[in-house]
């Protein structure tokens, strides 16, 4: 449960995340970015701090974090890399690692990841492997990073064979989320993280799902209070699941709702469709699948469609998909067991269907129906691909 901390400045809320090796807090509050040095001294005392940001976030916030540290008498250096998913690579991991070594960061150093999910994953993986592991502090600046990536301790990079295939679990010492920073995030980027918030409501908390719909306008406008409320609730919900199942063998699977189809959409689009957009469409289609197989309450996919539309999400993206490719991506999904894809299906908004585990195997003909919903009816065009 979150609790309010005594604080000299604005309110700071703390949500504890328990892991097998201990526990770390996610701190959230407007204006916390300016107080990073305080939290570094309290949760991750070090001789040197390596602040890692992409080039855009470095100019918006990373430099200020370093200046605040210097002003507070802490030794901090800024390390930057080019913005974008392409930087979540072994090459960038290696370049940053070398830069830290050259700058003289040693075992008594701490990595401070200031940025979106790319920075969190990349800088987190640098920290996980640097001199066999030094602490990391996560300072998420995008809604994706605050709402989703800040909990769970996953770090890593993408490789040619797929996204996030090389990495490590490396929990942060503390996460400092300042919802005021989403003001500078473009609305479509805000929506990306909010898709995961809708997912948290859909799988665990119907009241939160309704709250998100009601606050959609303010959330899309980057309102600090509305963002703060969503970050806190999502972090609480995700932390609860991750605490129960740190290594993804059981209940953590429910976080994959919308993701089996979402990943297929992402991959079949050649990653031109972003994750949140793909997952949003995936949630609608997986809810419809659940309705077809008779486990999901009828009307659930319609509620999801309506909720996601408030964030400009939920429709199958306007991209030409190849049916065979979508099928193949569904079949090779890493969560697929015995060659048949498994889906996390809802019972209703706020409740996941649990039968033989948290995901259900679905028959191939039902999957084909689903693929047709992604691609449109291939027969209509006769060329195996469809533009929506
Ligand atoms: N580790 C996990 O559990 C986990 C969970 C979800 C997503 N992820 C990863 O996160 C990544 C996606 O995260 P993302 O969407 O934050 O991408 P990102 O880090 O690339 O950020 C998106 C863009 O927004 C910019 N940005 C970030 N914060 C900003 C701010 N406050 N103001 C203005 N611009 C800002 C960035 O410079 C970037 O251009 C993916 O690689 C995904 O795999 C990891
Ligand atoms: Zn996701």
- Residue 330: the pLDDT is 84
Regarding the domain delimited by 3-185+222-229, which CATH topology (the fold level of the hierarchy) does it fall under?
Rossmann fold (3.40.50)
Of 162, 210, 219, 213, residue with least CA distance to 189: 219
Regarding the domain delimited by 248-386, which CATH topology (the fold level of the hierarchy) does it fall under?
Dehydroquinate synthase-like, alpha domain (1.20.1090)
Of 263, 378, 363, residue with least CA distance to 324: 378
- Residue 369: the pLDDT is 81
Q: Helix or strand or coil: residue 221?
A: coil
Cβ of residue 59 lying under 6 Å from some atom of ligand 1: no
297 Cα–ligand 1 center, Å: 34
Query: Hey, where are the domains in the chain?
Result: 3-185+222-229, 248-386
Q: From CA 229, how far away is CA 144, in angstroms rounded?
A: 15
383 Cα–ligand 2 center, Å: 31
Q: From CA 18, how far away is CA 239, in angstroms rounded?
A: 8
Cβ of residue 121 lying under 6 Å from some atom of ligand 1: yes
Its pTM stands at 0.92
What residue's CA is closest to ligand 1, atom 16?
116
Q: Helix or strand or coil: residue 15?
A: strand
Contacts of 20 (CB under 8 A, 6+ apart): 246
Cβ of residue 85 lying under 6 Å from some atom of ligand 1: yes
Cβ of residue 124 lying under 6 Å from some atom of ligand 1: no
| pLDDT tens per residue across all 388 residues of the chain | 677 665 555 689 999 998 878 899 999 999 999 999 999 999 999 999 999 999 999 999 999 999 999 999 999 999 999 999 999 999 999 999 999 999 999 999 999 999 999 999 999 999 999 999 999 999 999 999 999 998 989 999 999 988 899 999 999 999 999 999 999 999 999 999 999 999 999 999 999 999 999 999 999 999 999 999 999 999 999 999 988 876 666 888 999 999 999 999 999 999 999 999 999 999 999 999 999 999 999 999 999 999 999 999 999 998 989 888 888 888 744 444 455 788 999 999 999 999 878 888 887 778 878 888 888 844 334 443 433 3
Tokens representing 93? 């991991």
Q: Check if 164 is active-site.
A: no
In CATH terms, are 3-185+222-229 and 248-386 the same topology? no
Give the ligand with the smallest distance to the CA of 172. Answer: 1
Cβ of residue 138 lying under 6 Å from some atom of ligand 1: no
Tokens representing 141? 């600046």
Catalytic residue among 170, 173, 259, 288: 259
Q: Check if 259 is active-site.
A: yes
């Amino acid at each position: 449960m979150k609790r309010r901390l005594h604080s000299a400045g604005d309110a700071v809320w703390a949500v504890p995340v328990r892991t097998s090796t201990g526990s770390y807090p996610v701190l959230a509050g407007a204006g916390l970015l300016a107080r990073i040095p305080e939290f570094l001294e309290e949760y991750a005392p070090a001789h040197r701090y390596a602040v890692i940001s992409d080039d855009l976030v470095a100019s918006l916030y990373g430099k200020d974090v370093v200046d605040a540290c210097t002003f507070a008498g802490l030794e901090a250096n800024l390390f930057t890399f080019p913005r974008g998913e392409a930087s979540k690579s072994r090459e960038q991991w290696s370049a940053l690692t070398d830069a830290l070594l050259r700058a003289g960061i040693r075992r008594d150093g701490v990595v401070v990841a200031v940025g979106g999910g790319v920075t969190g994953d990349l800088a987190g993986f640098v920290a996980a492997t640097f001199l066999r592991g030094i602490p990391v502090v996560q300072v998420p600046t995008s809604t994706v990073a605050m709402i989703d990536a800040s909990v769970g301790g996953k770090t890593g990079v993408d490789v040619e064979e797929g996204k996030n295939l090389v990495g490590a679990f490396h929990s942060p010492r503390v996460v400092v989320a300042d919802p005021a920073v989403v003001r500078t995030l473009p609305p479509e980027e805000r929506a990306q993280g909010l898709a995961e918030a809708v997912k948290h409501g859909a799988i665990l908390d119907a009241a939160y799902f309704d709250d998100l719909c009601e606050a959609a306008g303010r959330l899309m406008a980057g309102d600090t209070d509305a963002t703060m409320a969503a970050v806190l609730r999502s972090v609480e919900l995700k932390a609860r699941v991750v605490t129960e199942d740190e290594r993804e063998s059981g209940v953590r699977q429910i976080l994959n709702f919308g993701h089996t189809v979402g990943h297929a959409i992402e991959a079949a689009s050649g990653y031109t469709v972003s994750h949140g957009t793909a997952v949003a469409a995936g949630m609608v289609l997986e809810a419809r699948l659940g309705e077809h197989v008779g486990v999901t309450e009828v009307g659930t996919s319609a509620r999801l469609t309506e909720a996601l539309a408030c964030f400009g999400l939920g429709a199958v993206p306007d991209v030409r998909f190849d049916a065979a490719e979508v099928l193949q991506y569904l079949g090779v999904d890493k969560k697929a067991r015995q060659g048949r894809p498994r889906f996390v299906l809802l019972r209703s908004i706020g409740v996941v269907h649990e039968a033989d585990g948290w995901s259900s195997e679905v028959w191939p003909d039902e999957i084909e129906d689903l693929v047709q919903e992604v691609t449109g009816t291939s027969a209509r065009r006769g060329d195996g691909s469809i533009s929506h």
